């Protein structure tokens, strides 16, 4: 049975992309990464894709006159790669309703907090951990959710809690949340949705 075809969208360092690449054939059995797209041509994530021999494209958001033009180019890449599932792994461009509505329950995002805490517009990367420390929470974590038109507002798929420790800085907390939650949850969630895609395909084949 052929694996679900996964496209991973990135903007930065790509440690979550690396976790997905490393999980292939292990925690991620039912899906295969066939494309990486970055909205930042300098993202280190692009080098991780190249090192793993996965086709990688840079589509700099600022190179397009509008969000519509950017999303049209992105859709063309996804269609050419025949992507079944899109995984946002530290991807910082907010996608429009027009885009997300075309992929119901087929776009996953990883967010570095326990949604609904510290999420929505402006909460990304280190800012999320700065906000958690400023509020004084004792537990934070990560969430994988389906993506809809509301930033961080789609249905929750998986969550994992991580302790905040005395003396934490945003950087220390970010690293702990990545190690203890993000790098485990994202491959697990990609596997869950990939399994659904593979099963759906088998059912469709049987009735076509």
Asked if 145 and 108 touch (Cβ cutoff 8 Å), the reply is yes
Residues 6+ apart with CB under 8 A from 126: 170, 171, 174
* Phi/psi of residue 108, nearest 5 degrees: -110, 145
Q: Quick check: 13 binds ligand GAR (CB under 6 A)?
A: yes
Count of residues that bind ligand GAR according to CB under 6 A: 17
Q: Which is nearer to ligand GAR, 159 or 201 (CB)?
A: 159
Q: Quick check: 38 binds ligand GAR (CB under 6 A)?
A: no
Q: Quick check: 40 binds ligand GAR (CB under 6 A)?
A: no
Stretch that binds ligand GAR, among 13-21, 27-35, 59-67, 157-165 (CB under 6 A): 13-21
Q: Which stretch of DSSP H or E encloses residue 129? A: helix 126-135
Told to judge if 111 belongs to the known catalytic residues of this protein, a careful annotator would answer: yes
Which residues within the stretch 41-80 sit at the binding site for ligand GAR (CB under 6 A)?
A: 45
Q: Quick check: 89 binds ligand GAR (CB under 6 A)?
A: yes
Integer Cα distance of 126 and 134 in angstroms: 12
Q: Least distance in Å: CB of 94 to ligand GAR? A: 9
x/- map, 137-176, ligand GAR, by CB under 6 A: ----------------------------------------
Q: Which is nearer to ligand GAR, 17 or 198 (CB)?
A: 17
Integer Cα distance of 171 and 112 in angstroms: 12
Residues 70-90, buried b or exposed e (16+ Cβ, 10 A)? Answer: bbeebeebbeebebbbbbbbb
Q: Which is nearer to ligand GAR, 67 or 201 (CB)?
A: 67
Integer Cα distance of 88 and 76 in angstroms: 17
Edge-to-edge strands of the sheet including 139-146? 56-58, 31-38, 4-10, 85-88, 107-111, 139-146, 156-163
Task: Give the residue closest to ligand GAR by C-beta.
Answer: 90
Strands 139-146 and 156-163: antiparallel
Stretch that binds ligand GAR, among 11-19, 34-42, 154-162, 163-171 (CB under 6 A): 11-19
Instruction: Work out which of 86, 110, 115, 131 binds ligand GAR, going by CB under 6 A.
Output: 110
Stretch that binds ligand GAR, among 22-30, 105-113, 164-172, 197-205 (CB under 6 A): 105-113
Catalytic site positions: 111
């Amino acid at each position: 049975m052929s694996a679900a075809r996964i496209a991973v969208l990135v903007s930065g360092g790509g440690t979550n992309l690396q976790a997905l690449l490393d999980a292939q054939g292990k925690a991620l059995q039912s899906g295969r990464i066939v494309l990486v797209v970055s909205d930042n041509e300098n993202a280190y994530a692009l080098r991780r894709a190249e090192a793993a021999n996965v086709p990688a494209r840079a589509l700099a958001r600022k190179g397009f006159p509008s969000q519509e033009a950017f999303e049209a180019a992105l859709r063309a890449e996804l269609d050419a790669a025949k992507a079944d599932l899109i995984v946002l792994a530290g991807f910082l461009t907010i996608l429009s309703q027009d885009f997300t509505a075309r992929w119901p329950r087929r776009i996953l995002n990883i967010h570095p907090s326990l949604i609904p805490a510290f999420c929505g517009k402006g909460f990304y990367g280190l800012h999320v951990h700065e906000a958690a420390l400023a509020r004084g929470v004792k537990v934070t974590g990560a969430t994988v959710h389906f993506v809809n038109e509301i930033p961080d507002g789609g249905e929750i798929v998986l969550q994992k809690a991580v302790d905040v420790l005395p003396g934490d800085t945003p950087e220390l907390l970010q690293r702990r949340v990545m190690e203890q939650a993000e790098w485990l949850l994202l491959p697990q969630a990609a596997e869950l949705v990939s399994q659904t895609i593979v099963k759906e395909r088998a059912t469709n084949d049987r009735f076509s």
